[in-house]
Amino acid sequence: MDKLKLNAAVELYINNNTNELTLDFELHQGAKERFILHSAKRLKNSYDLFKLNLCGLNDVLISLRDYLLTLQVQIHIDTLDIPEENDFGLVKDLQTGKYFASYQFPKYVNHSFAEKAFLSEEFSTQVDFRGHNLHTDPLIVKITGFHQFKSIAQKLAVYGALNTPNGYTTLVSLPTGGGKSLITQTLAYQKEGLTIVIVPTVSLAIDQVRVAKGIIKSSRIDDEVFSYNSGVDPKPILKAIRNKTAKMLFISPEALINNTEFVDVIKEANSKRYLKNIVIDEAHIVIDWGASFRIDYQCLESWRKKLLLSNPNIRTILLSATFEQRCISILKDFFSSDGKKWIEIRCDSLRHEPRYMLVKSKSYSDKKRKMLDLVRKMPHPMIIYVARPDDAGEIAEYLHLNDIKNVKTFTGLTTGTRRKELIDAWVDDQFDIMVATSAFGVGVDKSDVRTVLHTYIPQNPNAYYQELGRGGRDRLPCLSIMCIYPDDLSIAFGRISKKVMTTEKIVGRWNSMYNSDCSPRKGKLNYIDTSIRPIYSSIDAFDDTPTSDADMNWNIYVLLFLRRFGLIKIHEVIPQSTKYIFVIEISEDALRMNDDHQTEVIDSFRSIELKYYQESFQTMQTAIKRSESYCWSEMFYETYDKVSEYCAGCNSHNAPNESDFVDFPLKIPVDYPFMELAQDQMALFSSTREIIIIPSEKERSVLLNELSRLRISAFISSNENNIDVWMNGMEAISNFIVLNAKDLRELVKKKSYYFFSGLIAVKYSGSTKDIYDLLKFVQSNLSTHSEIKVVHIIDENIYFDWINKAFVDLVNGPVIPVRALI
């Protein structure tokens, strides 16, 4: 990118010497180049608003500071009255008459971290090769054109999903930016049928379709890949599903559950077994959001179960970057049958982009002053997270009083229409400061957030991590700053009591619903009306949801509480106008009687729930108190038990802790289920478990295509250089994982036979010792399994002189000709 040329164009625009500023994003695919262009766009937008008196001068100066520090340029400006003494580090060079920006960071800020987040210096990120084989297979090449995966973690995640047997649920964790979208793309085109991808936001659905259409190699892509939201005409989508041309539909749970047209067409497609896969993106939201303001996420459990009754072969894929163990336990309970038909592909990894800072203030007024200074001096775009809607309004007003006016708020009280307007404007760089509660963030497609500023203490490290994770999704450095004062700890602890309803109120709400005339019983099923007011008189309210919905939300909280602990089963959730009817079955008889025993049972489980919140908050509290001597990321190691250590920097250390770079990304064994061998595969082996093929050069292409036709599950090669030759000759019939000897050993060490059971082919090449070592490893670890059949492929019958035996002498199986496969 020619920064000087870009700066000259910006300079002309800011000085009103041209009416247009053309920023060509399409030509610049690098993340840093895109960020530079967006910085110019944000400066242009703030200047335009300032001319219309729609924002303050300080809004423009913030954008100007970001722009100058990121590009490291100077600019001539005549149209802005920039004070000589200003709070933005803007300085006029008296010789050139041009402005430049100096950092002028506050003393309490880590200057090195902040400079990196402005992206003003060159930096490099480690590339995940480490001797791993990153080849795709011919079918993935045919679908996407990709010959290489981004990382071994992405490769394992993709094949973990693709290998999912019919009727199973696979939970896949893959770091943000690691390429989760390739999972849905390959899954949808792996076989004929419809894949429904449930996404949290409209913007994410739109972006996923855009990405898919740019990657998938199909001449009929516009008739195959769709996203739906309230602003989209559903007719073409419904028609494509009925005509069985639709392959992938991105949709929110609300539209999926409440839109009768989609309810009907999906039910019809499912009855014909055209529905093949259900993918839930950002699956942790089912737990985190479904318990409060995204109730339809809680409908997915019963919705899926109903579909499985007539189509038990549906595969379910749950995707996220990291999973807390409690979240996994609940998801497993929701989306598996008594823990059966459940697979976990765990490539959990902590974010590499955030640099952490804890800024401590002496008082609330000191905290506000520091917060204002951080807004002025830290890189943008910036999200300021608060606990409650009232706090968001207060901070926005405080910034407004300081002439920072182009600030928006987004909370649980923000209406649906306004939410879409805000997200669209945020993504379009129309403003760059968002003050928000936890209601904002997940799935919002803005990758270049440079600073996430917490002005409160979240209830636990998981909630905190999800919010700070909005920064640096373009995989470039960003800042996570927590600015607090002493009372924030006690205030945060006080919110824990609101998070867990008292036993008395749980009992009161349950009995109010269960015994109401509005909740009829039909056999063993109870139709619970969630709009029923409780029998007690006190008022309950969520911090971040409309007061009008409080009773329904708390009632649903009670039902989900009972469901989590196995006291009830939820068979169906029926949306009805402004309320929900939960069709439940009581599993614990104590719920039927409003007596002391019922109270004791509920109190015992409520104590478990409260203990979880108290202990997880204690983890945050400890991190805050020990921030100068212990790594900030330790709280995440405790929360996400499968991640390796990583921290780009925090109050206790400047140098990155990169321990996770040396670890194999698969965190837990995946030894189940094995792929089933079909009759045509078994026929090759008779009573043996291995065979040898010694093809001539002319027979190689025939052998490759026959192996593809026989649906091998893995192709293992000891020589990386030969893989491309072999892959180019294979037909794209089914998926199989390509491994080198190192990858094979790592997976065997992890006891993860899930990736290479069934029929596998091993191509031997290299030195005589390399061939011998790989052969003995394969025989010791693969050929001994009854669920694995091995095809040994070698160019000639190598002789091992140190044991006076040839290759064929060591294999307990025959040498067969290539024509025997045909």
Which residues have C-beta within 8 Å of that of residue 197, sequence separation ≥ 6? Answer: 184, 205, 208, 248, 249, 250, 251, 279, 281
Clarify whether residues 54 and 77 are in a common domain. Answer: yes
Clarify whether residues 327 and 391 are in a common domain. Answer: no
Clarify whether residues 605 and 647 are in a common domain. Answer: no
Residue 715: inside a domain, yes or no?
yes
DSSP string, 547-609: GGGHHHHHHHHHHHHHHHTTSEEEEEEEEETTEEEEEEEE--GGGGS-SHHHHHHHHHHHHHH
pLDDT digits (tens, 9 = 90+) for 796-815: 999 999 999 999 999 999 99
Clarify whether residues 519 and 583 are in a common domain. Answer: yes
Residue 338 maps to which CATH number? 3.40.50.300
Report the pLDDT averaged over residues 564-589.
Answer: 92
Report the pLDDT averaged over residues 347-352.
Answer: 91
Tell me the pLDDT of the chain averaged across its residues.
Answer: 92
Q: Which domain holds residue 22?
A: 3-104
pLDDT at residue number 254:
87
> Which residue, 346, 371, 390, sits at the end of a domain?
346
Residue 758: inside a domain, yes or no?
yes
548: pLDDT strictly greater than 70: no
Per-residue confidence at 322, pLDDT binned at 50, 70, 90? confident
pLDDT digits (tens, 9 = 90+) for 779-800: 999 999 999 999 999 999 999 9
pLDDT at residue number 453:
98
Residue 312: inside a domain, yes or no?
yes
Which residues have C-beta within 8 Å of that of residue 389, sequence separation ≥ 6? Answer: 409, 411, 412, 413, 437, 543, 544
Q: Which uninterrupted H or E stretch holds 331?
A: helix 325-335
Residue 762 maps to which CATH number? 3.40.50
Report the pLDDT averaged over residues 433-442.
Answer: 86
12: pLDDT strictly greater than 90: yes
Question: Using CA atoms, how far apart are residues 289 and 274, in angstroms rounded to an integer?
Answer: 30
Question: Using CA atoms, how far apart are residues 175 and 321, in angstroms rounded to an integer?
Answer: 4
Report the pLDDT averaged over residues 463-480.
Answer: 92
pLDDT at residue number 123:
59
Clarify whether residues 527 and 605 are in a common domain. Answer: yes
Report the pLDDT averaged over residues 463-492.
Answer: 94
- Residue identified by tokens 């999704």 is 473
Q: Taking the model in full, what pTM does it have? A: 0.90
Residue 671: inside a domain, yes or no?
no
Report the pLDDT averaged over residues 354-381.
Answer: 98
Q: Which uninterrupted H or E stretch holds 791?
A: strand 788-794
pLDDT at residue number 213:
92
545: pLDDT strictly greater than 70: no
- 475 or 47, which is more confident: 47
Residue 49: inside a domain, yes or no?
yes
127: pLDDT strictly greater than 70: no
pLDDT digits (tens, 9 = 90+) for 148-204: 999 999 999 999 999 999 999 999 999 877 889 999 999 999 999 999 999 987 767
> Residue 575 pairs with which residues in a beta bridge?
580
Residue 504: inside a domain, yes or no?
yes
Clarify whether residues 512 and 632 are in a common domain. Answer: no
pLDDT at residue number 348:
92
pLDDT at residue number 537:
67
Lowest mean pLDDT among 60-69, 213-222, 536-545, 629-638: 536-545
Q: What is the DSSP letter of 341?
A: S
Clarify whether residues 469 and 511 are in a common domain. Answer: no
Clarify whether residues 434 and 577 are in a common domain. Answer: no
Instruction: Look up residue 333 and give its two tokens.
Output: 């309970």
With vertex at residue 350, the alpha carbon angle to CA 344 and CA 354, rounded to the nearest 5 degrees, is 155
**Domain total for the chain?**
5
612: pLDDT strictly greater than 60: yes
Are the beta carbons of 715 and 140 closer than 8 angstroms? no
> Which residue, 346, 366, 401, sits at the end of a domain?
346
Report the pLDDT averaged over residues 591-603.
Answer: 97
50: pLDDT strictly greater than 70: yes
pLDDT at residue number 424:
85
Clarify whether residues 532 and 450 are in a common domain. Answer: no
Report the pLDDT averaged over residues 321-336.
Answer: 92
Report the pLDDT averaged over residues 654-675.
Answer: 88
Clarify whether residues 284 and 373 are in a common domain. Answer: no
Question: Using CA atoms, how far apart are residues 410 and 424, in angstroms rounded to an integer?
Answer: 13
Lowest mean pLDDT among 138-142, 328-332, 438-442: 438-442
Question: Using CA atoms, how far apart are residues 644 and 344, in angstroms rounded to an integer?
Answer: 17
pLDDT at residue number 661:
67
Report the candidate in 80, 79, 1 with the shortest Cα–Cα distance to residue 37. Answer: 1
Question: Using CA atoms, how far apart are residues 550 and 560, in angstroms rounded to an integer?
Answer: 15
pLDDT at residue number 178:
82
Residue 119: inside a domain, yes or no?
no
Instruction: Report in angstroms the alpha-carbon separations of 268 from 235, 239, 261.
Output: 15, 12, 11
pLDDT at residue number 1:
77
- Residue identified by tokens 């989306």 is 335
The rounded Cα 33 to chain-centroid distance in angstroms is 24
Clarify whether residues 358 and 338 are in a common domain. Answer: no
238: pLDDT strictly greater than 90: yes
Per-residue confidence at 291, pLDDT binned at 50, 70, 90? low
Pairing of strands 737-740, 714-717: parallel
Q: What is the DSSP letter of 451?
A: E
Report the pLDDT averaged over residues 67-84.
Answer: 96
Per-residue confidence at 210, pLDDT binned at 50, 70, 90? confident
Report the pLDDT averaged over residues 600-617.
Answer: 94
290: pLDDT strictly greater than 70: no
Residue 133: inside a domain, yes or no?
no
Question: Using CA atoms, how far apart are residues 75 and 12, in angstroms rounded to an integer?
Answer: 10
Report the pLDDT averaged over residues 214-219.
Answer: 94
pLDDT digits (tens, 9 = 90+) for 550-566: 788 889 889 989 998 99
Per-residue confidence at 611, pLDDT binned at 50, 70, 90? very high
Q: Encode 479-502: b = buried (16+ Cβ within 10 Å), e = exposed.
A: bbbbbbbeebbeebbebeeebbbe
Per-residue confidence at 215, pLDDT binned at 50, 70, 90? very high
Clarify whether residues 272 and 184 are in a common domain. Answer: yes
pLDDT at residue number 595:
97
pLDDT cut 90: percent of the chain above it: 75
Report the candidate in 41, 49, 1 with the shortest Cα–Cα distance to residue 21. Answer: 41
> Which residue, 550, 581, 610, sits at the end of a domain?
610
Report the pLDDT averaged over residues 16-40.
Answer: 87
pLDDT at residue number 727:
83
- 685 or 121, which is more confident: 685
Are the beta carbons of 98 and 111 closer than 8 angstroms? no
Per-residue confidence at 211, pLDDT binned at 50, 70, 90? confident
Per-residue confidence at 21, pLDDT binned at 50, 70, 90? very high
pLDDT at residue number 297:
86
CA dihedral of residues 248, 252, 255, 256 (deg, nearest 10): 60
Per-residue confidence at 293, pLDDT binned at 50, 70, 90? low
- 87 or 446, which is more confident: 87
